[in-house]
Chains A and B, each alone.
Chain A
Amino acid sequence: MPRQKSAALERFALSNGLRVVVAPDASSQLVGVAVVYDVGWRSEPAGRTGFAHLFEHMMFQGSANVAKVEHMALVEGAGGVFNGYTRADITAYFQALPAGGLELALWLEADRMGSLAITEENLANQVAVVKEEINVNVFNQPYGGFPWIVLPETAFDSYPNSHNGYGAFEELERASVADAASFYETYYAPSNAVLAVAGACDPAEVAAYAERFFGPIPLRPVPAHGPWPEPPLSRPRHRLLHDGRAPQPAFVAGYRSPDPVNRLQDHLAYTVLAGVLAGSDASRLRRRLVHEERIVTDVSCELGIFGVDNFIMRDPVLLQVLVMHPGASSTEQILALVDAELERLADEGPTRDELERVAAAYSSGYWRSLDAVMERSITLASLEVVHGRAELLAELPGRIAAVAPEAVAAAAGELTGQQRTVVEVVPGAAQ
């Protein structure tokens, strides 16, 4: 009989500064291995937009003992899957395999952490691949890059916060092997990374492999991570975006939220607020805008850049209200209703039932996340990188449930008092 999954974690650090988190789970036959580096596109150099993401691609192009494409062949040949992604503050590399692939996965991750091999030819190849990735997701799609590229561009002023993390084609084309070597030297140090292993594993065995494979990588200094402060807006911002491929209008309203690392308790009230506003058909904005007034096709409320990444980001983090609508009402009319709902919530506070439903959704989502070893390893490593506390994964459901109604009302009141950024998508090419 498999045991119930538990939140128990073991942790240790190597002398070169690599931190290791292990979440053993005897009920699984799979093991998830994630290495998360404390670097994202907010740290990439000016004039090299998109470099952090391009570099992520280069991490799959070979190292001292692994040829180009061999990394993928070895993981897949062990019955595993793999991927990587780049966010504002982190870059994650991960795989999940049947249990017997653990040692191989750790060896592969150590080889590219210790001895990445980048050639001119491979770099040129991956610049071409990344440009096609951007074409697929941005230039050839309706609403491409909306809102994740265009909202930060409009809401922020500093280069780290405002620039496009996918990058401009001409800047990607200028990327050199020397740029890559310097980025690697600075940010891919063991002291700037967390290794997390979740699922079928023995923590003692993980410790032994980690020491054997990652231990020989020399200690390097920990690079600086921000801060990237931005003052609150002194006046509202508004931008029109003409999109020849979009068949319908849409808009996003961005608000500042409390620093998720240094003011976590305040940030949690905003997390609950987002659930109360748009977490289900019974939430306040969905109910009012979609089902009562029937003037929007969809409304969602999310924190972070992609909506679920607020706990793996540092300040500043936006709360976004995203609306798709058929154009029968103006953005101003819809925003007036959003404001009315926020004011009502600020005045009356949420009901006990609303808070319990948000907490229940968070709790069941947490258990579901424990069930998938790869996602669990990524989240543990990411939380350890950004908050220094992988335990947060297990604590969040309880802390969400403990948020007081007054805190949610106060958060709603703060939104109505803020100067916000609105980006509107106007269907059709610019006149």
Chain B
Amino acid sequence: MSLPRPEVTPLKALRKVRVDERELGGGLRSLVVKRSEVPLVEVRLVFPLSGRQMLRPAVPLVSSEAILAGTARHDRISLAEAVGRLGGTLGASAAGDTFVLYGSAFSQRYRQLLELMAEVLCTAAYPAEEVAADRARSADEMTIVLSRPETLAAEAVGRRLYGSHPYGAPLPRPEAVAAVTAARLKRFHSSLLHPSGAHLVVVGDLTAARATGLASEVLGEWLETPPASRSALPSLPAVATGPLELVDRPGSVQSNIRIAGPMPSRLEPEWPAVAAVNAVLGGMFSSRIVENLRERNGYTYSPYSSVRHMRAGSSGSIGADVSNEVTAAALVELRYEIARLATAGVSEEELQAARKYLIGTFLFQTATQASLASTLAALAATGVDPGYLSGHPARLARLEKSEVDAAARRYFSPSRLATVVVGEAEAVAGQLGELEQIELSRPFA
């Protein structure tokens, strides 16, 4: 076949996402988007965890289960039945610095979904027996989470990036989870789940007027919770770039390599340029580290570079999971690609590809009700105005090579990044020691 490769017609305009923003009382802000394509609704209530709450992560973890263990009107089972009749879901998650109560339902059942959410917010009972069962189960689940190598890598990276800041707190250990009491969960609930400083996100087949009108009505009692302040998070410390940390995991057949450092937040002018650098380095498949480590050297399955945005600041992580024998060789290649990007910048072709990729795939973040609700919740949690949904692609379209190269120099300079490897020390410490000084640690020391 020798038909010429077709050209791609760019979209004339990105469909505008119209976000209705209001103050619903009690300090709760709502973000609503009408999306009529499917007869469903997605709801997110987003709460900022305090630094103290993050330092005791066992409590939010158990709370995300036990919050559904019973209310004034329902026990756990009848609550699950009620949610099921709405064609819905109802749950809570505590991830990083944010606690989210989320739900979905047929849009005609929006009122009933809100009623169940209000009931949970105002009357979650934390029955002692149910709490005992939830904490035991959560403790068991944590032993499994902690046995995964990527968990150990994330913890070690957190220590290097954040030190004693709440973001550096290790994941809760099973003993701490098993010790969480109903009284502590009730205190956690009342200090966190009040409307001031929280956000309500609604995306679905209903008008903003109906979404907010029903929310004001159904959540009315909760919206009258006396206002309470929320403490700001401390600012992030300097990164402990230090020597390479090797976390020993005896019996590992692979090493999990992570190279991490601070990145600009979405509120900072350099963010779009950093997004492009990240894409060229390893944020897309047709990127430098995938081409080198996977497609040329066959060292790894899915090497990546990614940026994570949190309230107190953003961070980037470059990683690859590689066989023991090639651990040092793979680290050399990763370091080479990072340093080459920081010193020599991107090519015009790479920038053009990254720009098109980032603008095109940005559509996916707003394409479905569920993805749009999660995107809005993430923006709200980090204090980013929803105008970002149109502003960011416009900014990407105007990116210049000079600002991208400057961002690469500033944020991807090897001197700003910390390196962590999780693997079998007996198999890889020798190779790594040939390269540079290493600091050996044990995961649960």
Contact = CB atoms under 8 A, between A and B. Distances in A.
Contact of B149 (A103, A140, A279, A324): A140
B245 interface: no
Nearest to B11: A98
B40 A364 contact: yes
B364 A96 contact: yes
B357 A76 contact: yes
A5 B298 contact: no
Nearest to A110: B1
A169 to B, nearest CB: 11
A335 interface: no
Contacts of A238: none
A76 B285 contact: yes
B1 A111 contact: yes
B37 A30 contact: no
Interface string A224-267: 00000000000000000000111110000000000000000000
A388 interface: no
A129 interface: yes
Given A72-B285, A135-B323, A297-B140, A291 B87 contact: no
Contacts of B360: 78-80, 97-98, 101
Given A5-B37, A248-B140, A364 B6 contact: no
A387 interface: no
Contact of B363 (A98, A128, A370): A98
A30 B363 CA distance: 8
Q: Which of B3, B38, B149 has the most chain A CB within a 10 Å cutoff?
A: B38
A68 interface: yes
B284 to A, nearest CB: 5
Q: Which of B40, B84, B137, B323 has the most chain A CB within a 10 Å cutoff?
A: B84
Contacts of A1: 36
B298 A125 contact: yes
Contact of B144 (A2, A129, A247): A247
B118 interface: no
B84 A76 contact: no
A79 B367 CA distance: 14
Contacts of A133: 301-302
Contacts of A220: none
Interface in B23-66: 35-40
Given A136-B254, A364-B40, A294 B136 contact: yes
Interface stretch (A16-24, A173-181, A352-360): A352-360
Interface stretch (A189-197, A209-217, A340-348): A209-217
Given A30-B367, A133-B301, A245-B147, A217 B1 contact: yes
B80 A364 contact: no
A281 interface: yes
B294 A356 contact: no
Contacts of B86: 360
Contacts of A69: 285-286, 291, 295
A135 B369 CA distance: 36
Interface string B105-122: 110000000000000000
Chain A's interface size range is: 35 or more
Given A282-B77, A294-B133, A356 B105 contact: no
A168 interface: no
Contacts of B296: 125
Contacts of B140: 248, 297, 324, 326
A110 B6 CA distance: 12
B209 interface: no
Q: Which of B7, B14, B143 has the most chain A CB within a 10 Å cutoff?
A: B143
Interface residues of B, number: 79
Nearest to A292: B77
A357 B85 contact: yes
B361 A80 contact: yes
Given A69-B291, A357-B84, A371-B37, A107 B363 contact: no
A216 B83 CA distance: 53
B84 A361 contact: yes
Nearest to B140: A297
B73 interface: no
B2 interface: yes
Contacts of A282: 77-78, 80-81, 84
Contact of A213 (B3, B83, B143, B367): B3
Given A129-B301, A140-B149, A291-B133, A360 B6 contact: no
B5 interface: yes
Given A79-B361, A297-B140, A371-B369, A29 B15 contact: yes
Given A76-B357, A364-B88, A213 B1 contact: yes
B333 interface: no
A420 B357 CA distance: 49
Contact of B364 (A81, A124, A281): A81
B250 to A, nearest CB: 10
Interface string A343-385: 0000000000100110011011001101111000000000000
B368 A281 contact: no
A367 B40 CA distance: 8
Nearest to A294: B133
A364 B364 contact: no
B434 to A, nearest CB: 22
A85 interface: no
Nearest to A6: B37
Contacts of B394: none
A364 B104 contact: yes
A131 B136 CA distance: 37
A72 B353 CA distance: 11
Contact of A78 (B147, B149, B356): B356
B300 interface: yes
B76 A364 contact: no
A100 interface: yes
A240 to B, nearest CB: 19
B6 A245 contact: no
A4 interface: yes
A64 interface: yes
A64 B367 CA distance: 34
B77 A371 contact: no
A104 B299 CA distance: 31
Contacts of A143: 144
Contacts of B147: 142, 245-247
Given A104-B5, A135-B321, A368-B38, 8 more contacts: A2-B37, A5-B38, A129-B295, A139-B253, A298-B141, A353-B81, A368-B369, A371-B38
17 contacts: A72-B284, A76-B356, A77-B8, A77-B352, A79-B356, A79-B357, A96-B364, A100-B9, A101-B360, A103-B6, A133-B302, A212-B3, A360-B87, A361-B84, A364-B104, A364-B105, A370-B37
Which 10 A/B pairs are nearest by Cβ-Cβ distance? A79-B360, A128-B298, A100-B9, A357-B84, A364-B87, A73-B286, A360-B87, A281-B80, A282-B80, A371-B368
Interface of B: 1-3, 5-11, 14-15, 35-40, 68, 76-81, 83-88, 104-106, 130, 133, 136-137, 140-141, 143-144, 146-149, 251-254, 284-286, 291, 294-296, 298-302, 321-323, 352-353, 356-357, 359-361, 363-364, 367-371
